[in-house]
Structures are given as C-alpha cells and as structure tokens.
Structure 1
C-alpha cells in the first residue's frame, strides 16, 4: 500500500500529538522550518514506511493532516 500525507504547515502549532501516536515513528517536528505563527510544523520523515493508519490525522486537534491511501 502506498500512502500520501499532507500537512497544512501554516496551521500546524507543533503540539507533537501526531508524533506521539505514529506507530512507525515517522512523523516528526521539522526544526528547520517555521510557519507564519512561529511554530515548527510537523512532517513525515520517510513516507515509504507509512502504513496509512491515519492515527496522526485523527489525533490532530487542528485537522492539519490529510492521509490518502493508494
């Protein structure tokens, strides 16, 4: 299965909830980027390891993550 994760980085507040629930530990805070609110947004480190469980999207309080399965 192939997955695509999309993060609305401008709306992400870097709460790290998504990083805590990822079973593959591939969702991480991007310390090299800062959004317009001054937060470091979340992103995926290795999309090939994603199993499209959508745990990250379900726990996100601001609904900034979209998971698509192919």
Structure 2
C-alpha cells in the first residue's frame, strides 16, 4: 500500500490570496489534516504564520493546490 505524503511544500510556487484586506502566502498543504500553513501579511508587514482549514480558502486557490 502506498504511503500518503505528510505535507506538500508549496512555498516555491508563490501562491497568494486575500481575505478581508489581509494577504496570505501559502507555505505548505497538509492533506491528512486538510489544512494549509500560510504566512500572514498585513499592510506590507509580515504578521506571522497561521494554519487555515482548507475549506476556508478561496476556490481559485484550492484548484491550484489540489492540482499538485
């Protein structure tokens, strides 16, 4: 039986999206947890990292992530 990947690194693809004037840059996708680790950028300043549920990100971004 094939092993599932624990995480998919996406930091080299420079995937970004905005939610309510806050910009997010995708770092990695964790398929087992269905979460996305993102770098938060507010007003051009890095505000740290967060883990967002995959269901809460925009549809266009989901298509890019799931294609990998």
Structure with higher strand content: 2
Higher relative contact order (CA 8 A, sep 6+): 1
Q: Which has the larger radius of gyration?
A: 2
> After TM superposition, is the score higher than 0.5?
no
With the length of structure 2 as denominator, give the TM-score of the two structures: 0.31
